[in-house]
Amino acid sequence: MAPQSHGAPGVPRRPRGVRRAGPRRHGRCAVCRDAGRRGSVARRPPQRPDSPRRARRAPRGLHRAAGARSAGARGRRRPDARTGAGMKVLFLAHSFPRYITDPVGSFVLRLAAALRAAGVEVTVLAPSAPGLARRESFEGVPVERFRYAPRRLETLAYTATMRPRVQRSWAARLTLASFLVAQLVAALRLRRRFRWDLVHAHWWMPGGLVGTRLGAPLVTTLHGSDLRLAQDVPIAARLFRYVVRRSAVVTTVSRWLAQGTAALVPDVRPVVAPMPIKGDLFHPGGARPPARLLFVGKLNEQKGVGHVLRALARMRCPATLDIVVGVGSVEDEARALAASLGIAERLRWHPLLPQAELADLYRSVTALVMPAVDEGFGLVAVEALLCETPVVAFASGGLTDIVVHEETGLLVPAGDGDALAAALDRLLALPDRGAALAQAGRRRALALFGPEAAARRYAELYRTALDRAGR
């Protein structure tokens, strides 16, 4: 007896490997469901080759592609090739102001605001932290925050301690992995609402690494700490080369950073493009005492707080010193050193200050001391010069782009405490000379680091990145 079908008695079962004639029923449309109830197969009526209906049908996929192109053309303006107006850019940053007066990552906000003023649409994707809103706007710049851990564990960003914590703790390494995945997922979700033309990552790690996976032209900016990470950690150096070589444009905020990048990746030529300053906030004015010095920075070895304390003890002039501290690992050692040098009573310690209060402090001191070694840029020096406060610094890193010796300030060999003390004594003894240096420094800072100039420069670099990507 011939094999029988379970569903239709008396009908032979189709041999294995032989396809059923006609279209397969999928059961998802009313026609197929109705045909299934009748026990028959839904068939499309045959069409003659010269049928008008067949002639009207386009090849498969043509309507979809044309529709996508037309929708994109309707929904997106072509960016202006000269000014960048109409361009859409996604900023990736792990350091960004948490509130409008927060100094943390404020230079990223200043660049975003300057670009928005020039017609470039910028949206910032930054990590969340306890107490922060998911979406907000600073100076007209939309900011999206992404969650990367339970609230109590979202402490990797905004503390300036990401690198030492990741190096010491496996828990922090797991949190960093979660951070990378969360930022990538958040960026992909954001793309549905904000169809950017390119991605601008501030710091190659973590933003640049995430940016390589977003399928868009990538501009990566190095700010200093990220280059030192690549120079010090072998596995970071490999990741650094990966990100840099996959970036359409690589920028650095100083010539020193550009040289360091070229040393690690000789086949890449970075472009020096500093971050903008806020000239309307940092301006001259106010009376200055005769011998009051200022140090602003994180309390770590690289910023050189120990150098300024030893120089203060060696100076002939009994100056006082205001110290505005950021997060750091040597605060206890610095206080102990000041006590051992006998200068503790000449120090005033301040917490991290909002930008407006810091500007007032710049205007109320005699000089700024910057004994940093391998400083990526030296934004504090720019802010001080805008307030016409003289700067004495080590001739190291990006500080040599800002302070021109005997023209806009005084430079001494890096690590030379005696030379630092002598330069400070000289500046305090010649206040008119210090004022002339600071005035020249303000003029130079406005010319090099103004927001309009920075916006034009980065708009040009964005256009270059799009051209290299064939966009």
| Three-state secondary structure call for residue 452 | helix
If you ran DSSP here, which 8-state letter would residue 243 be given? H
34-43 long-range Cβ contacts below 8 angstroms, 24+ apart: 39/8
Residue 35 within any structural domain of the chain: no
When pLDDT is averaged across residues 89-108 and rounded to a whole number, the result is 93
pLDDT value at residue 5: 47
Residue 440 within any structural domain of the chain: yes
Which two structure tokens, joined as six digits, stand for 438? 């600071």
Give the residues across from 192 on adjacent strands.
none
Least confident of 42-51, 77-86, 372-381: 42-51
Number of alpha helices (DSSP H) and beta strands (DSSP E) in the chain: 18, 14
- Do 178 and 316 have their domain in common? no
- Do 355 and 266 have their domain in common? no
Cα–Cα separations (whole angstroms), residue 287 to 162, 284, 363 = 40, 10, 8
- Do 442 and 385 have their domain in common? yes
CB 44 within 8 A of CB 23: yes
What whole-number distance in Å separates Cα of residue 404 and Cα of residue 399? 9
What whole-number distance in Å separates Cα of residue 131 and Cα of residue 208? 26
Which two structure tokens, joined as six digits, stand for 132? 């922060």
Residue 30 has pLDDT above 80, yes or no: no
Instruction: Report the 3 state secondary structure along 222-234.
Output: ECCHHHHHHHHCH
Q: 């040599």: which residue's tokens? A: 400
2-10 long-range Cβ contacts below 8 angstroms, 24+ apart: 8/39
- Do 354 and 425 have their domain in common? yes
Residue 23 has pLDDT above 60, yes or no: no
- Do 298 and 437 have their domain in common? yes
Residue 340 within any structural domain of the chain: yes
Residue 205 within any structural domain of the chain: yes
- Do 181 and 296 have their domain in common? no
Residue 20 has pLDDT above 50, yes or no: yes
DSSP 288-316: --SSEEEEEEESSTTTTHHHHHHHHHH-S
Residue 21 within any structural domain of the chain: no
Compute, in degrees rounded to 10, the torsion defined by CA atoms 330, 175, 222, 187: -150
- Do 240 and 120 have their domain in common? yes
- Do 310 and 257 have their domain in common? no
Residue 285 within any structural domain of the chain: no
pLDDT value at residue 287: 81
Residue 36 within any structural domain of the chain: no
User: Which positions ≥6 away from 118 have C-beta within 8 Å?
Assistant: 83, 84, 85, 452, 455, 456, 459
If you ran DSSP here, which 8-state letter would residue 159 be given? S
For the chain, give the mean pLDDT. Answer: 85
Q: Residue 175, exposed/middle/buried by CB under 10 A (0-12, 13-18, 19+)? A: buried
Angle at 35 between CA 34 and CA 41, to 5 degrees: 165
Please name the helix (run of DSSP H) or strand (run of DSSP E) that holds residue 321, with its range, or none. strand 320-326
CB 399 within 8 A of CB 375: yes
Residue 426 pLDDT class (50, 70, 90 cuts)? very high
pLDDT digits (tens, 9 = 90+) for 273-329: 999 988 788 999 878 888 999 999 888 888 999 999 999 999 999 899 999 887 666
Q: Which CATH number belongs to the domain containing residue 434 in this structure?
A: 3.40.50.2000
pLDDT value at residue 416: 94
- Do 396 and 337 have their domain in common? yes
Angle at 375 between CA 352 and CA 161, to 5 degrees: 50
When pLDDT is averaged across residues 419-432 and rounded to a whole number, the result is 94
161 versus 466: the higher-pLDDT residue is 466
When pLDDT is averaged across residues 342-363 and rounded to a whole number, the result is 92
CB 396 within 8 A of CB 372: yes
Rg, the chain, Cα only? 31
- Do 407 and 265 have their domain in common? no
User: Which positions ≥6 away from 197 have C-beta within 8 Å?
Assistant: 79, 87, 88, 89, 216, 217, 462, 466, 471
Share of the chain above pLDDT 70, in %: 82
Cα–Cα separations (whole angstroms), residue 106 to 113, 152, 275, 364, 379 = 11, 25, 10, 22, 10
pTM: 0.75
How do beta strands 271-272 and 218-222 pair?
A: unpaired
- Do 376 and 387 have their domain in common? yes
Which two structure tokens, joined as six digits, stand for 361? 């402090």
State the total domains in the chain: 2
pLDDT digits (tens, 9 = 90+) for 233-276: 999 999 999 999 999 999 999 999 999 999 999 999 999 999 99
Q: 């000239």: which residue's tokens? A: 279
Give me the domain span that covers residue 179: 88-276+452-468
Q: At what angle do helices 255-264 and 225-232 cross, to 10 degrees?
A: 30
- What are the backbone angles phi and psi of residue 117, rounded to the nearest 5°? -65, -25
pLDDT digits (tens, 9 = 90+) for 64-97: 333 333 334 444 555 665 556 789 999 999 999 9
- Do 358 and 307 have their domain in common? yes
Which two structure tokens, joined as six digits, stand for 395? 């001739």
Residue 56 within any structural domain of the chain: no
38 versus 446: the higher-pLDDT residue is 446
